[in-house]
Amino acid sequence: MNIKPVLPLFLLLMLGACNERGEMDTSSAPRGVEVPDHFLEYLNDQQGQVLSTTWSQAYYRAVDPDNIRTTLEDWKAANDFDSCDEQVHVIFRDAKDLGYGRNMQGCKHDDGRVAVFVNNYVVRVQPGDPSNYGPINVEAAIAEDPHHLQGTNAIEFTPIDPTDPDSDKVAKFFTFTPEGQLNLTADLDGRGAKPMPQPCLLCHGSTLPPWDSDTIINSATPWAEPYVEKALKSTKMNLLELESFDYSPYVAGYSRSEQEEALRQLNAFVLSTYEETATRALADPGHWWPDFAIEIARKRYADQPELLGQTYQDDSLPCGWRVDPSADADCIGSSDLPAAIRPEGVDVLYKRVVEPHCIACHSLRGSSAGQRQPDSDGGNAISFSNYEKFIGYSDLIVDYVYHRGVMPLSLRNYEKFWADRCEGAPALLATFLPEFDRYDDNACVIAPGLPVALPGADRPVRSPAVLDASASLFVSSYQWQVISTPAPAAITRFSDASAAAPTFYASHNGDYVLQLTVSNLRGSDSEELVLTVNSAMNPAPAELDFVTHVLPVLRDVAYPGRDTQCVQCHSSVAQLGGAYAGIPVVYNVDATVYQEVLQRIDLAEPENSILLRKPTRNQHGGGKIIDRDTVDGEALYQMLINWIRAGASCGTDPVICG
């Protein structure tokens, strides 16, 4: 008879001794303007359209249109947990992600359906205390102590169309309260309640479009509505990383070695979903490039295709992260063979930085159309399947990891990454980043939290011009000033020089060099901005619209500043010279093109828009399309910036603009 132990009070006294079992979170930085707080948030939320409970309602309508999964027990019944062909049960603490004690059960059917649910346990010492997420949580999970039950997450891999058992299977996510009721919001990391299941989808490869939620909620076939099919088909299950978990040394049956086979079986369940997804046609919405995730799974189990009877290999290393993979027999024929031997230490970089902090999420991203194999630039290769593809994003790595603090995306993972700024993961990663200079006086890497001035790109304007530095990072105060004017007699004025978004007035045409200085308690940062005032500018930024000015950039055969017609690749129809099957965005369909573009712009920080970042860098799947080193290329870039800054107006076309 298996009697679940009650979580004893003395375990609370053992918090200080838990370091013997792994890395214990015993401190966190004080919260405030100087501390990143973007965890589990969508980075381009389209003005709140994604992180909203309305979006959540539309999602649940799409994955459960008949409302037969509104409780945990109903969800189990819908997934036939009483008749699994294979069933497994494990308990551990997910030390890297949210720090929960996880009591997990998995079910697989011979028809390929997979379902996994996990009851999450948190022993709360006091509100806001990081030790809430410590190793003691695994004991609470084993005890199944209801006082510490945080709630339940459930994932199923089942047909997208509930009326057609032969339709493509997709991963569907559900969140339940401790009482077992479907939950539209949850506070997963002590940073406030967020709509669910969006934070889960972020790390499971999903696209999160700002769709028309009301239409989906009222649709008879919500899973087939525009953008819904793509969102559902792009979502995957995550592999279990056994070396990142804490296990119980106190309760028999719950050590790693005692659960090794059950954990292997769960990973085999996940691998089966990858392999089934990989058989979809490339043109299917949401198609992804699964090769790297499959390679990771198999190499962790000694390259066994079915993961049969193998022990998890903590030291496994993908071919794309070996210094000289051509010397390894298991890598011959791999698409990740480099043109030259890689720098020494790339294997260490993978094991100490990329695998523990990046791969769980990034291996689930990247389309087949964007791989451009073999290619040293990597194409649209955010899966990070090899060193070249990873380091090709070095500028964005510096920005997202060291400046913004938005990666790693989850709070526990972020804290682990930054646990040692001098010799740990941030320092090791920095040695591979070209011209990295973010060090303090002790030669330790500086953590995010310093102010970063972001006044926007240099651009042509009419006077008066509205400035906007609200995207600047970790700022408590702003100060604008004029550094130089085009003529000695030029008169300038700010509506409020200490505002984030003042209006700038200039009396003469020409180049005005402005300086923005931002500050917080840790210091200050300054950045210059060149505004080229042109009173005859035609059209003015406020007059730009999508139909008249942006759509020709995407479609015209010959457009100044752009090397290749965008719809040559971004098309739903294979054309001469041809569209790529499975490309994630198309610009040839009038009814959807404006929404496709809106999803790729950042109104809060236009320069961070995918619409601009993709075609101006080599890592774009089609290579660099807009070259800012040319006069025409820079003019085109500035026009797009001004259009976004002015609000990204569509125009008046009734088909395109709706």
Mean pLDDT in residue range 386-414: 91
395-415 burial code (b ≥16 CB/10 A, e <16): ebbbbbbbbbbbbbbbbbbbb
- Phi, psi of 182, rounded to the nearest 5 degrees: -55, 135
User: Does residue 514 sit in the same domain as residue 552?
Assistant: no
Among 323-337, 392-406, 593-607, whose mean pLDDT is lowest? Answer: 323-337
DSSP H or E stretch at residue 215: helix 213-218
Q: How many Å apart are CA 259 and CA 246, to the nearest integer? A: 12
Which domain-ending residue is among 390, 414, 430? 430
Assess contact for 380 and 619: CB atoms under 8 A: yes
Number of neighbours of residue 109 by Cβ within 10 angstroms: 16
> pTM above 0.85?
yes
pLDDT at 576 over 90: no
The beta strands (E) that lie in 264-308 are given as none
pLDDT at 77 over 90: yes
Number of neighbours of residue 357 by Cβ within 10 angstroms: 23
Which domain-ending residue is among 223, 240, 259? 259
User: Does residue 525 sit in the same domain as residue 554?
Assistant: no
User: Does residue 24 sit in the same domain as residue 161?
Assistant: yes
Q: How many Å apart are CA 64 and CA 162, to the nearest integer? A: 8
Identify the CA nearest to 296 among candidates 234, 372, 375, 386: 386
DSSP letter assigned to residue 261: H
pLDDT at 284: 80
Query: Is residue 285 domain-resident?
Result: no
Identify the CA nearest to 429 among candidates 361, 362, 348: 348
Sequence-distant (6+) residues with CB within 8 A of 399 are none
Please, what is the Cα angle at 531 between 529 and 537, to 5 degrees?
155
- On the 0-12 / 13-18 / 19+ scale of CB atoms within 10 A, 163 is exposed
pLDDT tens for each residue of 8-30: 433 333 333 333 333 333 333 33
- On the 0-12 / 13-18 / 19+ scale of CB atoms within 10 A, 20 is exposed
Using pLDDT thresholds of 50, 70 and 90, give the confidence band for residue 32.
very low
* Token pair 């090899």 in the structure block, residue: 386
Query: Is residue 132 domain-resident?
Result: yes
The percent of residues above 90 in pLDDT, for the chain, comes to: 71
Identify the CA nearest to 407 among candidates 14, 36, 29: 36
pLDDT at 3 over 50: no
Grouping H, G, I as helix, E, B as strand and the rest as coil, residue 305 is coil
pLDDT at 347 over 70: yes
Among 53-62, 203-212, 364-373, whose mean pLDDT is lowest? Answer: 364-373
pLDDT tens for each residue of 164-193: 999 999 999 999 999 999 999 998 888 888
The pair of three-digit structure tokens given for residue 567, joined into one six-digit string: 């719809």
Query: Is residue 242 domain-resident?
Result: yes
Assess contact for 56 and 197: CB atoms under 8 A: yes
Tell me the helix, strand and coil percentages in the chain, rounded to 5.
Answer: 30, 15, 50
User: Does residue 526 sit in the same domain as residue 546?
Assistant: no
Query: Is residue 421 domain-resident?
Result: yes
User: Does residue 478 sit in the same domain as residue 565?
Assistant: no
pLDDT at 580: 66
Sequence-distant (6+) residues with CB within 8 A of 441 are none
* DSSP one-letter string for 237-292: PPPP-GGGEE--SSSTT-SHHHHHHHHHHHHHHHHHHHHHHTTS-TTSTT----HH
In angstroms, what is the C-alpha Rg of the chain?
26
User: Does residue 110 sit in the same domain as residue 76?
Assistant: yes
Identify the CA nearest to 641 among candidates 512, 553, 565: 553
Assess contact for 169 and 274: CB atoms under 8 A: no
pLDDT at 371: 66
Assess contact for 410 and 97: CB atoms under 8 A: yes
Domain that holds residue 485: 459-533
For residues 458 and 17, the model is more confident at 458
Q: How many Å apart are CA 191 and CA 331, to the nearest integer? A: 43
pLDDT at 560: 92
User: Does residue 139 sit in the same domain as residue 73?
Assistant: yes
Identify the CA nearest to 243 among candidates 306, 348, 310, 316: 316
Q: C-alpha dihedral over 265, 269, 271, 274, to 10 degrees?
A: 180
Q: How many Å apart are CA 350 and CA 354, to the nearest integer? A: 5
Query: Is residue 277 domain-resident?
Result: no
* DSSP one-letter string for 494-515: ES-TTSSS-EEEESSSEEEEEE
* Token pair 């194409």 in the structure block, residue: 379
User: Does residue 137 sit in the same domain as residue 200?
Assistant: yes
Mean pLDDT over the full length of the chain = 88
Among 51-55, 305-309, 334-338, 573-577, whose mean pLDDT is lowest? Answer: 573-577
pLDDT at 584: 78
Q: Strand order of the sheet with strand 503-506?
A: 465-466, 503-506, 492-494
pLDDT at 31 over 60: no
pLDDT at 583: 78
Assess contact for 226 and 592: CB atoms under 8 A: yes
Mean pLDDT in residue range 533-547: 94
pLDDT at 374 over 80: no
Query: Is residue 280 domain-resident?
Result: no
DSSP letter assigned to residue 182: B
**Paired residues of 245 in beta bridges:** 94
Query: Is residue 438 domain-resident?
Result: no
User: Does residue 244 sit in the same domain as residue 101?
Assistant: yes
pLDDT tens for each residue of 139-164: 999 999 999 999 999 999 999 999 99
Q: How many Å apart are CA 425 and CA 112, to the nearest integer? A: 39
pLDDT tens for each residue of 609-650: 999 998 998 888 788 899 999 999 999 999 999 999 999 999
Query: Is residue 557 domain-resident?
Result: yes
Sequence-distant (6+) residues with CB within 8 A of 472 are 451, 452, 453, 454, 455, 478, 500, 516, 518
The pair of three-digit structure tokens given for residue 192, joined into one six-digit string: 């406030």
User: Does residue 149 sit in the same domain as residue 169?
Assistant: yes
User: Does residue 32 sit in the same domain as residue 166?
Assistant: yes
pLDDT at 381 over 90: no
Q: How many Å apart are CA 555 and CA 501, to the nearest integer? A: 34
Using pLDDT thresholds of 50, 70 and 90, give the confidence band for residue 395.
very high
Identify the CA nearest to 98 among candidates 189, 194, 190, 204: 189
pLDDT tens for each residue of 242-265: 999 999 999 999 999 999 999 999
The pair of three-digit structure tokens given for residue 515, joined into one six-digit string: 């300086």
The pair of three-digit structure tokens given for residue 427, joined into one six-digit string: 């320092």
pLDDT at 4 over 50: no
Q: Are strands 523-533 and 510-520 parallel, antiparallel or unpaired?
A: antiparallel
The percent of residues above 70 in pLDDT, for the chain, comes to: 91
CA 658 to mean position of chain CA atoms? 30
User: Does residue 206 sit in the same domain as residue 80?
Assistant: yes
Which domain-ending residue is among 511, 533, 555? 533
Assess contact for 137 and 122: CB atoms under 8 A: yes
Give how many domains the chain has, as a whole number. 4
